[in-house]
Structure 1
Amino acid sequence: MLPRHLTLTLDARHPTRLARFWADLLGQDTVADGTDGVRLPGTDTRPDLRFVPGQPHRTGPHRMHLHLTSDSADDQRRQVARAIALGGSHLDVGQLPEETHVVLADPEGNEFCVIGPGNTFLAGCGRLGEVACDGTREVGLFWSRALGWPLVWDQDQETAVQAPRGGTKVAWGGPPVAPQRGRDPQRFDLAAAGTDPQTEVARLVALGATRLDATAAGVVLLADPDGNTFGVTTG
């Protein structure tokens, strides 16, 4: 199977500033994207984070957010304090006092959590432990096949996939899934090397995607089985 790489793309009013926040939090550098965007390069075990100019319109919680892992209670506290110092904020989503994760928002309101130590599900996944998504089992199976990544969790309608060499998990929490209200300012982009766009799009449509009558900076846009927009690039 051809190698495929996953990118999480986020619309941002200030892409460079938001990219700098995440780079400082994750301890890595940013690079220019070539399309007025800014990228935090990933690896074969971690997706890229890409920030592009846009005006996010919030009509409710996003369908995806990031989970950062911690090695100890002190490490978790340090990460939370650093996020606040960099411009993040605490976020109340109804979490209970006994829950061990801390819910935050980045400077543009994107939700993320710093997970407490001892979380076995994210053990060994690295600092960017998980992209947590709202979604059905069907969409988890779709992305497993689209990426060629094994399904590492499949219980009670919840699913998760992970690159063959491990690293960041991408997980879907199962129903109920809130309906889409307009275009989501977050999306996945899938890059496939060594094939032409028509072939890759046809493969994804056969797996259950729907082609949309739109493009974004030369990226072919499709929708996954839950109606989430995602982009496809080839080369």
Structure 2
Amino acid sequence: MATRLVQIAMDAQDDSAVGRFWAEALGWGMSSEGPGVTNLEPEGFVYPDPVAVCIDVVAVPEPKTVKNRLHLDLATTSAAHQAELVARLKDLGATPADVGQGDVPWTVLADPEGNEFCVLEPREIYRDTGPIAVVVVDCVDPRVMARFWGEAMDWTLHAVDDDHATLRSAKGVGPYLEFLRTPGAKTVKNRIHLDLRPYPGDDKEAEVARLRALGATDADVGQGDDVPWTVLADPEGNEFCVLTPR
């Protein structure tokens, strides 16, 4: 059995406004599966496909209070493209953000609800990822996270050391997933989390049991008992959802 990363879920007080920002930022289409949920995916995309990790923006009443432990890095193809993208994002409502980055070649911004993200300088490794280069997760121990996530999903582990671990779909397409060593442990529920989906024909409950055996724990984020997904947390407490096979 195996599962794979299919989307990220992003909490927002105004899912439509945040969804519009990210749809414009990425050049993706926007739809809604129901009240309080805005779905984003590339135009013409057939879900699920590792060529893209989609975004679901979900309405919540609580405002953002701390720096997110998950964020997106956006890819660029040239210095001019980076400058143009930063300017366009600011026109869409992004604002400069200081997360202690100092003098770096990438630009740190925040979306209209304060979710931090980076616009990277051109990097050859990200030339074929699409607009999202990396989904970045802050962590205390990248090696522990690499062990868990490397077994949790059928993605390929590309690199691991004391400072970071990097995975990508085994098909070699779409964005990377990076666990970045960062001071400080998780203190509140993540406003951005990963959604995993087993393959068609697999048993979700068996997959959930396998993930628990790898070190996942049950998490209560107020989801109730009548939802078709299961909420778990990884070894550092980051919530993630296991969706129904598809």
Q: 1:110-140: CA deviations, max 9, x gaps?
A: 00011112x2443432221001111222112
Tell me the TM-score normalised to structure 1 length: 0.90
CA RMSD of aligned residues (A): 2.0
With over 3 angstroms needed to count, the CA separation of the structure-2 counterparts of 1:36 and 1:109, relative to structure 1, is same
With over 3 angstroms needed to count, the CA separation of the structure-2 counterparts of 1:72 and 1:85, relative to structure 1, is same
How many angstroms does 1:175 deviate by?
5.2
Q: Which residue of 1 aligns with 2:203?
A: 196
Tell me the TM-score normalised to structure 2 length: 0.86
Contact preservation (8 Å) 1:195, 1:234: no
Q: Which residue of 2 aligns with 1:131?
A: 135
With over 3 angstroms needed to count, the CA separation of the structure-2 counterparts of 1:213 and 1:94, relative to structure 1, is closer
Q: Distance in 2 between matches of 1:76 and 1:205?
A: 41
Q: Distance in 2 between matches of 1:96 and 1:214?
A: 34
How many angstroms does 1:95 deviate by?
2.7
Q: Distance in 2 between matches of 1:159 and 1:153?
A: 5
Matched, 1:229 2:212: no
Q: 1:1-44: CA deviations, max 9, x gaps?
A: 45634211011111111111111111110121346311113631
Matched, 1:64 2:70: yes
How many angstroms does 1:184 deviate by?
1.6
List runs of 5+ in structure 2 lacking aligned partners.
43-48
How many angstroms does 1:63 deviate by?
0.5
Letter in structure 2 aligned against 1:58: K
Letter in structure 1 aligned against 2:229: V
With over 3 angstroms needed to count, the CA separation of the structure-2 counterparts of 1:156 and 1:180, relative to structure 1, is closer
Q: Distance in 1 between matches of 2:212 and 2:20?
A: 36
List runs of 5+ in structure 1 lacking aligned partners.
none
Q: Which residue of 2 aligns with 1:161?
A: 167
With over 3 angstroms needed to count, the CA separation of the structure-2 counterparts of 1:20 and 1:214, relative to structure 1, is closer
